[in-house]
Structure 1
Amino acid sequence: MNAQTERRLIDGPVGAIECAIDRPTDELHRETPRGVAVVAHPHPLFGGTMDNKVAQTLARALVLLGYETVRFNFRGVGATAGTHDEGRGESDDLLAVVAALRRPGLPLVLGGFSFGAYVTTLAAARLSGAEAAERLVLVGPSTQRATPAPVPADTLVIHGEQDDVVPLSATLDWARPQQLPVIVMPGVGHFFHGQLTQLRQLIVRSWH
Structure 2
Amino acid sequence: MPEVIFPGPEGRLEGRFAPPPRPRAPVAMILHPHPQAMGTMNNRIVQALYQTFARRGFATLRFNFRGVGKSQGTFDNGVGELSDAASALDWVQSFHPEAQQTWVAGVSFGAWIGMQLLMRRPEVRGFISIAPPANMYDFSFLAPCPASGIIVQGEADEVVTPSAVQKLVDKLRTQKHITIHHDTIPGANHFFEHEMPQLMGSVDKYLDFRLDPSCPIR
Please tell me whether the aligned partners of residues 50 and 72 of structure 1 are also in contact (alpha carbons under 8 angstroms). Answer: yes
Tell me the amino acid that sits aligned with residue 10 of structure 2.
V
Q: Give how far 1:33 is off.
A: 6.6
Cα RMSD for the two superposed structures = 1.6
SS of the counterpart of 2:54? helix
CA-CA distance at 1:66 after TM superposition: 2.1
Change (3 A) 1:109 1:169: same
Contact 1:64 1:204 in 2 (8 A): no
Residue of structure 2 aligned with 1:22, choices 13, 18, 25: 18
| Residue number in structure 2 paired with 1:7 | 3
TM-score w.r.t. the length of structure 2 is: 0.84
Matched, 1:78 2:69: yes
CA offsets, 1:97-149, max 9 Å, x none?
00011221211111100000000111221113xxx202111111111111233
Q: Which moved more, 1:153-162 or 1:12-21?
A: 153-162
- How far apart are the structure 1 equivalents of 2:23 and 2:98? 11
Cα separation, 2, equivalents of 1:46 and 1:145: 14
For 2:204 and 2:19, the matched residues in 1 are separated by 16
**2:127·2:147 contact (CA, 8 Å) conserved in 1?**
no
Q: How does 1:1-208 map to 2 (within 5 A)?
A: 5-23=1-19, 30-32=21-23, 34-102=25-93, 103-106=96-99, 107-128=101-122, 132-148=123-139, 149-150=141-142, 151-152=145-146, 154-179=148-173, 180-207=180-207, 208=210
Tell me the CA shift for residue 34 of structure 1. Answer: 3.3
Other structure's SS at 1:94 match? helix
Q: Which has the higher contact order (CA 8 A, sep 6+)?
A: 1
**CA–CA distance in 1 between the matches of 2:181 and 2:201?**
18
Q: Is there any run of 5+ residues in structure 2 with no aligned partner, and where?
A: 174-179, 211-218
Q: Could you tell me which runs of 5 or more consecutive residues in structure 1 were left unpaired when the two chains were aligned.
A: 25-29
Number of residue equivalences: 196
Identity between Structure 1 and Structure 2 (%): 30
- Output the CA distance in 1 between the equivalents of 2:198 and 2:56: 15
Moved more, 110-119 or 61-70: 61-70
Check whether the contact 2:126–2:147 (CA below 8 A) recurs between aligned residues.
no
Amino acid across the alignment from 1:16: R
